[in-house]
A = this chain, B = another copy of it.
């Protein structure tokens, strides 16, 4: 590999922990499916294999999305923003389920302000029982 082969990874402004947020957006619907974190190696692997690889902060290791559930994300585009500190992936979501709760998207909690105190309400259906996702 030539010296310049990973220059594109230097373009990102990694934070003090070496991470940036990464959004997975579904091709076609444009739904925002989830946000996770990437370090340099996660982004390099994502580009190399064409499937989303994140850095799991809770497990402190690389996380090939779908490695347990089978719900891998096929990556069609990789973008960064004007500040070069956020990644946007355009993905095809295998199984149509991105969330570990069995929902299409992780963003299923909506702020509702009608009828009393503001509160968060789940507004998206559980498509598959999570116990069936993680066997």
- Number of A interface residues at 8 Å Cβ cutoff, please give it: 41
Contacts of A30 in B (CB 8 A): 29-32
Q: Are B99 and A82 in contact (CB under 8 A)?
A: yes
Query: What 1/0 mask marks residues of chain A from 25 to 61 whose CB sits below 8 Å from any chain B CB?
Result: 1000111101100000000000100000000000000
Least distance between A48 CB and chain B CB atoms (Å): 10
Query: Which residue of chain B has the shortest Cβ distance to A8 in the bound complex?
Result: B118
Q: Is the CB of B88 within 8 A of A32?
A: yes
CB-nearest residue of chain B relative to A105? Answer: B81
The residue that A106 contacts in the complex, of B47, B81, B101, with Cβ under 8 A, is: B81
Q: A23-B32, A30-B31, A35-B86 are in contact. Are A79 and B8 (CB under 8 A)?
A: no
Q: Which residues of B contact A109 (CB under 8 A)?
A: 79-82, 84
Check if A8 sits within 8 Å of B120, measured CB to CB.
Answer: yes
Q: Within 8 Å of chain B (Cβ to Cβ): is A115?
A: no
10 closest A-B pairs (Cβ-Cβ)?
A30-B30, A81-B106, A78-B111, A79-B107, A8-B118, A35-B86, A88-B107, A82-B106, A80-B109, A21-B21
